[in-house]
Amino acid sequence: MSTGSPTTVETGDPPTGPLRKNRDFMLLWTGAGIALLGGRVSAVAYPLLMIWYGTPTDAGLVGFAALLPMLLVQLPAGVIVDRWDRRRTMIVADVAGLVTMGSVGVALLMGHMWLPHLMAAAFVEGSAAIFYRLSERAAVRNVVHRDHLPAALSQNEARGRAAGMVGQPLSSTMFAFARWSPFVLAAASHVVSLLTLLLIKKKFQTERTGKPRKLHTEIAEGVAWLLRHRFLRAAISLVAGTNVLFQVLSLSLALVVKESGGSPAVIGVIGLVSGLGGMAGALSGSAIVKRLRPGAVIVAVFGTWTLLTPVVALTSNAFVLGAVYAGIAFAGALLNVMAGVYQVLETPDGLQGRVG
């Protein structure tokens, strides 16, 4: 596993000041947030680009390439994040994102659009994002004090919700101005993230001992650790099931609004309200997690979802639907904060990438 001096999360000394005065965390939070926004902008721009200047089939192929890393890269990336220096891993991920997004922006600026190039760029950017996200999540426990972890992960969740809310309209607006501009913005976001990483002083992990083993052996080690923890096993199973439900609910919203005579703008407004609910849940997650046990949070979240989800089938009122989806998002963000805090605290530093 790991040796050396204790990580920040393991020290028993009280924090020396509020989280907002933790220079390294604020740099990490800001840089990762800007990179996340850039990634969201480019993700929205891809289908717009292919539908307006290509074909729906092309849009599907690029979307497939962007999502393929989730299947192929996720588990090996966890091993590498635990094995390599996490700061360097994030720097390499930023450089990869900068090069790929920059290449797309320059090609479009020069009037060229080649489907294989876009698919390759989407795959590389998606892979880099996985390495970056796993490294950042694992690094937080070494950058902040244990007492600040709930607040830090709560702010990270709110940051992600905000990036999702702002990214879509920003990308659409920029695409309408110039089709290359969303990708140039995404490339610039990696530059900012790279600069913030270079300014951080704290180490992102404890020292590693022992030689690296075979990839499948280290993946199996992470899976075995996870399977031994009953609470995490149950939580993952529950969340996996509800992910299917919420995919259905997302499609159902469009159908309900269309059948009731609403417009796409109504869906956008409901999405905005839902995003605000998610941000509220994320920002309040720190205080709630400190007061309630993880099991109580899960019961409350799933109880809320059980009460709210049937309402979607009983009404077409946009105000009611907005409130329902905001409540669902609030509970989901709270669950993410709780799960993140629990996982980061319980998992050894040398297994953070694989378990995460």
Same domain, 176 and 229: no
Same domain, 251 and 323: yes
pLDDT of residue 268: 74
Same domain, 164 and 312: no
13 assigned to some structural domain:
no
Domains in the chain, number: 2
118 assigned to some structural domain:
yes
The phi and psi torsions of 227 (rounded to 5 degrees) equal -65, -25
Same domain, 282 and 184: no
Same domain, 200 and 335: no
User: pLDDT tens digits, residue range 29-49?
Assistant: 999 999 999 999 999 899 889
pLDDT of residue 228: 87
Same domain, 269 and 158: no
pLDDT of residue 1: 36
User: Residue 210: pLDDT band by 50, 70, 90 thresholds?
Assistant: low
8 Å CB contact between 123 and 65: yes
Same domain, 143 and 285: no
What is the rounded average pLDDT of the residues 239-254? 76
Same domain, 196 and 258: no
Comparing 271 with 36, which gets the higher pLDDT? Answer: 36
Same domain, 58 and 152: yes
Asked whether the predicted pLDDT for residue 4 surpasses 50, the reply is no
Place of tokens 């360097």: 88
Same domain, 184 and 255: no
C-alpha to C-alpha distances, 253 to 104, 242, 271, nearest whole angstrom: 33, 16, 10
C-alpha to C-alpha distances, 353 to 10, 86, 138, 196, nearest whole angstrom: 18, 10, 6, 21
DSSP 8-state assignment for residue 207: E
216 assigned to some structural domain:
no
What is the rounded average pLDDT of the residues 158-166? 88
Total count of residues recorded for the chain: 356
39 assigned to some structural domain:
yes
Same domain, 173 and 248: no
Secondary structure of 24-92 in the HEC alphabet?
Answer: HHHHHHHHHHHHHHHHHHHHHHHHHHHHHHCCHHHHHHHHHHHHHHHHHCHHHHHHHHHHCCHHHHHHH
Domain ends where: 210, 236, 252? 210
Comparing 77 with 2, which gets the higher pLDDT? Answer: 77
DSSP 8-state assignment for residue 16: S
352 assigned to some structural domain:
no
Same domain, 30 and 162: yes
Domain ends where: 178, 210, 242? 210
The token pair at 267 is 């869906």
- Nearest Cα neighbor of 153 from 271, 35, 37, 290 is 290
Domain ends where: 153, 176, 210? 210
User: pLDDT tens digits, residue range 62-89?
Assistant: 989 998 998 899 889 988 888 889 999 9
Domain CATH for 44: 1.20.1250.20
- Determine the angle formed by the axes of helices 318-346 and 115-143, rounding to 10 degrees: 60
CA distance 54 to 45: 13
Q: Which domain holds residue 250?
A: 224-346
What is the rounded average pLDDT of the residues 118-127? 96
355 assigned to some structural domain:
no
Asked whether the predicted pLDDT for residue 246 surpasses 70, the reply is yes
